[in-house]
Structure 1
Amino acid sequence: MIGFVIGVFAIAGMIKGTIGLGLPAVSMGLLTIFISPFQAATLLIVPSMVTNFWQLFAEGQVLKLVRRFWPLLLGIVVGSIWSIFPTLGHGEFQSEALLGGMLALYGLYGLFAKNMPNLAAHEKWLSPIMGYLGGALTVATGVVVIPVVPYLQSLHLKRDDLVQSLGLAFTTSTICLAVFLHQHPVENIPMDYKMSFIALLPALVGMWVGTKIRYRIPEQKFRKVFFCGLVIFGGYMVLHQLGLL
């Protein structure tokens, strides 16, 4: 089990180091092959928290972003408390199907989203809605991707602001997920924080390797293969849960 977890987080960290995203999605997708989504989410907490903090505080002006995006963050918190979706560990079939659907959507978005429309003019009312859906899907799948990532990219932020804004949203979602998992334990499924700490090292090593790979392999080619893989893998998870495979 330890070797499997180390391998998963090394791969996920490498992908994040190469293209700047994908650690939660890849980790959850691979881990749920052998363990439940609830248990996989508990292993994700420490590596996600550390890498998200790294991403958030790599540059300054964090308070400025908090003042701007507090409606989004509040929506994430509310969504994680009152989710409209079946939550992790409480309806396992739905959680795995939702996770597969999220991975497939994430892959399709990465493959086909070229020029995002500028939604900055609608930010005031869109932020709490996007935040709520992001928080609700976080406690349902263990992954915050859709719709938070496309939404923030649609605001046409400067590169550094976008990276930090994603880190802010990811950090908030990870904290909410950790609180949810602690308050809603599942019988006979332990919350293995020790294993989560063990997973941190291979994730960081993987990120370091990924940064080296970034300069050797064309990023666009790597991204295309990665997102195609997510579509195929996510689609398989959905069809498998529906009993079609």
Structure 2
Amino acid sequence: MSGLLVELPLEILLVAAAISAFAGFVKGAVGFALPMIMISGLGSILPAEIALAALILPTLVSNLFQSLRGGWRLAWAVVRRFWLFLVMMLVFLASAAQLVALVPQNLLFLVIGVPIVLFALTQLMGWRLHLRPETRVRDELLFGGVAGFIGGMSGVWGPPLVAYLVAIDEEKRETIRIQGVVFGLGAVMLAAAHLRSGVLDAATLPLSAAAVVPVLAGLWIGTRLHDRMPQQTFRRAMLVVLILAGLNLVRRGLMG
């Protein structure tokens, strides 16, 4: 991989660093969308497999940072609080992964992306979905199962979690921590899967490690913005990024 880094033009490296820093900034501000931004941006200047390898360690490290920012006890409290969501997500993720060949990917992206965009748009326009504490078990079974199912089928499990956190009006700092824990578990599974697939190996690990630096720089700036952001502004920012994530899924569905 050092040979590849030497061979790449300086402008490509600078653009890749800028994309990574921007992805880190968005994740620091709203807690998600780093893989979406990195794979879309890096995939336009690098081969898809190399772009995928580049985002694996930054995804893992950034989620570790966000989940542990308040200490391991608060992170463990998230696991205890959302254990039902996590169990449902992991069970459905493992099960749905076996069905990948049965469902066209472009159709799946459209089925996921369109409702996500509509949900976020209606929320921004003033309609509020409020999930009550009394229905928590039902809601976590539903949202966790949906997140796991689409995650196993497409590798995308973030939007249902974000939609759920918006619907329960979760406090912004706790929202970031919850996303860090849930996405962090997914990132561990992603890293393990691609160590086995060969995408992440002795050749690509240095590239992925190098990408951690600009991502953490962007994450630091985004986190500072997040800390100063009022709760309502944070909620709107999450919904805007959720719309962009949904539109990206629709784009992938339409383009095949």
Normalising by the smaller structure, the TM-score range is: 0.7 to 0.9
Q: Is the 8 A contact 2:16 2:42 kept in 1?
A: yes
Query: What is the rounded CA distance, in whole Å, between the counterparts of 1:177 and 1:155 in structure 2?
Result: 28
Matched, 1:15 2:26: yes
1:102 and 1:39, CA in 2 relative to 1: closer, same or farther beyond 3 A?
A: farther
- What amino acid is the match of 2:77? K
- What amino acid is the match of 1:112? T
- What amino acid is the match of 1:16? K
> How far has the Cα of 1:107 moved from its partner?
5.0
Matched, 1:28 2:3: no
1:29 and 1:101, CA in 2 relative to 1: closer, same or farther beyond 3 A?
A: farther
- What amino acid is the match of 2:250? G
Q: Is the 8 A contact 2:105 2:253 kept in 1?
A: no
Residue of structure 1 equivalent to 2:250:
235
- What amino acid is the match of 1:57? L
- TM-score, structure 2 as length reference: 0.70
Query: What is the rounded CA distance, in whole Å, between the counterparts of 2:140 and 2:215 in structure 1?
Result: 30
After superposing the two structures, state which structure 1 stretch, 197-206 or 106-115, moved more.
106-115
Residue of structure 2 equivalent to 1:157:
170
Instruction: For 1:1-245, list aligned pairs within 5 A.
Output: 3=13, 4-33=15-44, 35-36=47-48, 40-60=51-71, 61-83=74-96, 94-95=104-105, 98=108, 106=116, 108-114=118-124, 115-183=128-196, 185=197, 191=201, 192-210=204-222, 230=245, 233-241=248-256
Query: What is the rounded CA distance, in whole Å, between the counterparts of 1:108 and 1:157 in structure 2?
Result: 20
Which stretches in structure 2 are left out of the alignment for 5+ residues? 1-7
- TM-score, structure 1 as length reference: 0.73
**Alignment deviations for residues 18-76 of structure 1 (CA, whole Å, 9 cap, x no partner):** 4443212212333444543x654433221111111221122253332222211111222
Flag the structure with higher helix content. 2
Q: Is the 8 A contact 1:10 1:205 kept in 2?
A: yes
State, as a whole percentage, how many aligned pairs show the same letter: 22
Query: What is the rounded CA distance, in whole Å, between the counterparts of 2:144 and 2:242 in structure 1?
Result: 24
Query: What is the rounded CA distance, in whole Å, between the counterparts of 2:94 and 2:134 in structure 1?
Result: 28
> How far has the Cα of 1:202 moved from its partner?
1.0
Q: CA RMSD in A?
A: 3.7
> How far has the Cα of 1:85 moved from its partner?
7.3
1:223 and 1:43, CA in 2 relative to 1: closer, same or farther beyond 3 A?
A: same
1:82 and 1:104, CA in 2 relative to 1: closer, same or farther beyond 3 A?
A: same
Q: How many residues align?
A: 233
- What amino acid is the match of 2:211? A
Q: Is the 8 A contact 1:111 1:227 kept in 2?
A: no
Structure number with larger C-alpha Rg: 2
Q: Is the 8 A contact 2:97 2:152 kept in 1?
A: no
